[in-house]
Amino acid sequence: MGDDSLVLRLMLTSGLSVALVGAALALLIVLVFRLGNTSRLSPRQPLPKWTGFGVLAAVGLFFLFEVGSGFIQSLLIQSGFFKNFYGENFPLDLPENPSVAQKGAAVMRRLWSSALAFPLALIAMVLLRKSLQVRSSSRLRTWPLGFVAGYLTWLMITPAAFCVFVLASLGHRALTGQEPEKHPLTFIGELAGPWEWSLFVVQTIVIAAVIEEWLFRGALLPWLAQRKPVPPDTAFTVLPRHRPLLILLGALGVGVAFTFGTDFLSRPAQVQTAFEADPVAASAAYLIPAGFFLLLVPFDFLLPKLHRLRRYLRIRSSQDLRAIWASSALFAAMHTHVWPSPIPLMVLALGLGYLYLRTRSLVGPIVVHGLFNAVSAVYLILGGPA
C-alpha cells in the first residue's frame, strides 16, 4: 500500500508539474503571437495525399530508424566510446538473463544511438515526402495555435488515459498476480547521470513523439481517411472503404505477435506449461491482449452508424471516424510488449487522431504526445518506482 501511495503522489506531482510548465508556455505563446483568429487551423486544409506505397515506405523508414540506431550503437561500441565514457566495466551486451545493471546499460546504449540516428531520420522523412510529392503535415506557420490546441487537448485526454491505465493495471494484477510489464526505458534507474537523463528526456519527449506522430497521424491516418484512391491506381491499390478493416486486422496480428513473442514460435512448451500451471494467469497473459485487439475489429462496422456522435464531434464523414479508430488500434498494438499500456494508449491515440483531423497539422499531436510522455519522464526523474 505504501508503494501505491508513493506512486500516486509522484504521478500527481509529475502531472501537475508538466501541466504548469505547459500552461506557462501556452499563455506566453498566446500573448506574444496575439492568438485570436483560430481560422488559421481550419480543417478546410486538404489532407496529405499518401499512396499505399508511400505508407509502406513510411513504415519501412520507421523500422529503418531502429536498424540504423542498432548500427550506430555497433559503431560506438567498436570505436570504444562507451568504454572511454563509462569505464572498462561498462556492459556491452545483453545476455539471456540480464541483471538490472545490464538492462540499464542496454538502455543507455540505446539512448546514445537513437539521439545520433534521429537527425538522419528527420532528413530521410523529408526526402521521402518530397520524393513522393506529399504535402507536409507540419504546417509550421501555424505552430503557435498548434501548440495551444495540443496543450488543451493534453489537459483533457491525459487524466482519462491515466485513469484507464490504473484500472487496466489493477485488472492485470488481479488476474495474473503480477505487476504490469515495465517499459525498457525504465531500467535506466540509478545508473543514469545528467547526460543519460538528458538523453532520456530527448528520447521520450522529442524523438518518440516526432517519429511516431509522423508515421501514425502524418502518413497512415490521411491514407485511411481518403475517399478515393490517390493516382496511380494499380491492381495492388486497396480501396479506401477496405483500408480501416485491413489495418485493424493488422493491429490484431501485431498484438498477437508481441504478446507471444518468441515463446509462440520457438518455445510453445513454455506457453503450454504456463496454462497447465495457472490457466487464469496464463489466459490473462496470453489471451486477453489478443482478445482486446479482436474486440476492436467489430467497431469498424459499428462506427458508420453513429451519426449523432460524428456530428457532435464535427467529424466530416464515417470514413474519418473509421480512420481514427484503425490508426489508433495499430498505434496501441505497437506497444503490446508493455502490457497493459495499449489500453490507455488507445484512448490517447483516439485524441491524437481527432486533433490531427480537426487541425490538419502534426504540431498539436506532437505536443500532446510529448507532454504525455513528459509526465512519465518527470515521474522517473523524481525517483518513482518503475
Q: What is the pLDDT of residues 84-125, one digit of tens each?
A: 999 988 888 888 778 878 888 899 999 999 999 999 999 999
Residue 65 domain-assigned? no
**Each residue's pLDDT tens digit, 197-242:** 999 999 999 999 999 999 999 999 999 999 998 887 776 789 999 9
Give the cell for residue 263. Answer: 515463446
Distance (Å, whole) CA 259 – CA 116:
30
Higher pLDDT, 381 or 266: 381
Which of 56-65, 201-210, 224-233, 352-361 has the weakest average pLDDT?
Answer: 224-233
Mean pLDDT score, 153-158: 96
Residue 149 domain-assigned? yes
Residue 15 domain-assigned? no
Cβ distance 342 to 292 under 8 Å?
A: yes
Residue 126 domain-assigned? no
Q: Check pLDDT > 60 for residue 272.
A: yes
Structural domains in the chain (count)? 1
232 upstream amide cis, omega within 30 of 0: yes
Distance (Å, whole) CA 293 – CA 335:
12
Q: Residues with Cβ < 8 Å from 20, sequence gap 6 or more? A: none
pLDDT band at 263 (very low <50, low <70, confident <90, very high): very low
Q: Check pLDDT > 60 for residue 377.
A: yes
Residue 278 domain-assigned? yes
Mean pLDDT score, 59-68: 93
Q: What is the pLDDT of residue 135?
A: 83
Residue 105 domain-assigned? no
Q: Residues with Cβ < 8 Å from 19, sequence gap 6 or more? A: 155
Distance (Å, whole) CA 190 – CA 243:
45
Mean pLDDT score, 132-160: 87
Which of 123-127, 168-172, 183-187, 286-290 has the weakest average pLDDT?
Answer: 183-187
Amino acid of residue 132: L
Q: What is the pLDDT of residue 382?
A: 86
Q: What is the pLDDT of residue 265?
A: 46
Q: Which residue has the cell 501514425?
A: 216
pLDDT band at 270 (very low <50, low <70, confident <90, very high): low
Could you tell me the residue range of the domain that residue 281 belongs to? 22-38+134-182+192-228+238-381
Q: Check pLDDT > 80 for residue 189.
A: no
Q: What is the pLDDT of residue 267?
A: 46
Q: What is the mean pLDDT of the chain?
A: 87
Hey, how many other C-beta atoms are within 10 angstroms of the C-beta on 230?
Answer: 19
Q: Most confidently modeled of 8-12, 134-138, 142-146, 301-305?
A: 301-305
Mean pLDDT score, 238-260: 92
Q: How far is CA 3 from the centre of its chain?
A: 27
Which of 53-62, 100-109, 313-322 has the weakest average pLDDT?
Answer: 100-109
Distance (Å, whole) CA 372 – CA 211:
15
pTM of the model: 0.92
Hey, how many other C-beta atoms are within 10 angstroms of the C-beta on 338?
Answer: 16
Cβ distance 239 to 52 under 8 Å?
A: no
HEC letters along the chain: CHHHHHHHHHHHHHHHHHHHHHHHHHHHHHHHHCCCCHHHHCCCCCCCCCCHHHHHHHHHHHHHHHHHHHHHHHHHHHCCHHHHHHCCCCCCCCCCCCCHHHHHHHHHHHHHHHHHHHHHHHHHHHHHHHHCCCCCCCCHHHHHHHHHHHHHHHHHHHHHHHHHHHHHHHHHHHHHCCCCCCCHHHHHHHHCCHHHHHHHHHHHHHHHHHHHHHHHHHHHHHHHHCCCCCCCCCCCCCCHHHHHHHHHHHHHHHHHHHHHHHHHHHCHHHHHHHHHHCHHHHHHHHHHHHHHHHHHCCHHHHHHHCHHHHHHCCCCCHHHHHHHHHHHHHHHHCCHHHCCCHHHHHHHHHHHHHHHHHHCCCHHHHHHHHHHHHHHHHHHHCCCCC
Q: Check pLDDT > 50 for residue 192.
A: yes
Residue 224 domain-assigned? yes
**Each residue's pLDDT tens digit, 8-25:** 888 999 999 999 999 999
Give the cell for residue 233. Answer: 491506381
Mean pLDDT score, 158-176: 89
Distance (Å, whole) CA 118 – CA 54:
20
Mean pLDDT score, 358-367: 93
Residue 309 domain-assigned? yes
Higher pLDDT, 37 or 20: 20
Distance (Å, whole) CA 264 – CA 255:
13
